Amino acid sequence: MTAISKLVRDNILHLKPYSCARSEYRGEASVFLDANENPMNAPYNRYPDPLQEELKKKIAGIKNVRPSQIMLGVGSDEPIDLVIRIFCEPGENNIVAIDPTYGMYQVCADINNVEYRKVLLNRDYTLDAERLLNATDGRTKLLFLCSPNNPTGNLLNRNEIRKILNGFDGIIVMDEAYIDFSSEPSWLEELDERPNMVVMQTFSKAWGLASVRCGMAFASEEITGFFNRVKYPYNINTLTQKFVAEQLDHEDRKDRWVKMLLEQRGLLVEKLGVLPFVERIYPSDANFLLVKVPDADEIYHKLVDRGVIIRNRNAISLCLGCLRITVGAAEENEILINELKQL
């Protein structure tokens, strides 16, 4: 395997990162006159911990990784952007990704002027490792996988993923935003053996914290070291760090929500399945369903008129005629079904 330091952009490798007051000093002190903070208005007057140590300790316990293997970002969006900026030379390197998938990978690639190569999944949304590997070349630095995938909802086959992990010489990003809803274990289990894998998860879905904007990237210490050099020093504010740490004390509540949503997903499958215009409901390992209908645009707009918003995926690769429906609370799902029955 190519050494990580050989994959990193030269300017990042040689970057002298900003050294903030709070990370130069480590230890116990009672007088802080180092960061030009206002002494009044405690505790909001102090800059946050740039490495979020307390919060990472808690996450590490739950995820069974070392705190040093964690990078925290403003949603997953931040590590998605940073991983591109760390490894891809604009106008020179390229990224290979499955298609269809989450739209932010391409947006971040485009913003960074990095070629983004889409490789179609099979028609049943399964992964063909060989097709993906064939799309890579000597300039490919990153490969994006998303499992369970958005918007298709399915887990990607583990053996196919393994072929890519074993066969690609760059960095593989595994987006596991929906892993809590899935029937298979996280790739975090193999983090220690796979120095070129970055696993991304988020608090936005199962944990019910989308408004808080906190995402996680897990990787080798070498890679998290680069994330830490490139990110804004104080990217996660103190309120967020404290609040998320507190939410982590209620993992049982998250588990109950997941259980409820999986039950609701099953009910939705049953009730959607008997509607005459539903042609197909794709199997889902996530908190949403991809549903094929004859006229997705028409159903989408009719639902909007009735105050029910779903996602129209009609224009996405391999998703002709498809609607993506998030599994809501029981009452919301009932309203959706009732409105659909009246169309």
Ligand X SMILES: *Cc1c(COP(=O)(O)O)cnc(C)c1O
Interacting residue ranges for ligand X, rule: CB under 6 A? 75-77, 102, 146, 150, 175, 177, 202, 204-205, 210, 215
- List, in order, residues 6 or more apart from 99 with CB less than 8 Å away: 118, 119, 120, 121, 317, 318
CB of 34 to ligand X, least distance (A): 33
- Is the Cβ of residue 37 or residue 77 nearer to ligand X in the bound state? 77
- Is the Cβ of residue 52 or residue 150 nearer to ligand X in the bound state? 150
- Is the Cβ of residue 22 or residue 213 nearer to ligand X in the bound state? 213
CB of 213 to ligand X, least distance (A): 7
CB of 219 to ligand X, least distance (A): 16
User: Can you tell me whether residue 333 is helix, strand or coil?
Assistant: helix
What is the Cα–Cα distance from 186 to 207, expressed in whole angstroms?
16
What is the Cα–Cα distance from 83 to 121, expressed in whole angstroms?
23
- Is the Cβ of residue 205 or residue 265 nearer to ligand X in the bound state? 205
- Is the Cβ of residue 1 or residue 210 nearer to ligand X in the bound state? 210
CB of 294 to ligand X, least distance (A): 26
SS3 letters across 198-257: EEEEECCCCCCCHHHCCEEEECCHHHHHHHHHHCCCCCCCHHHHHHHHHHHHHHHHHHHH
Closest CA to 176 of 191, 163, 166: 191
Instruction: Compute, in degrees rounded to 10, the torsion defined by CA atoms 10, 16, 22, 25.
Output: 120
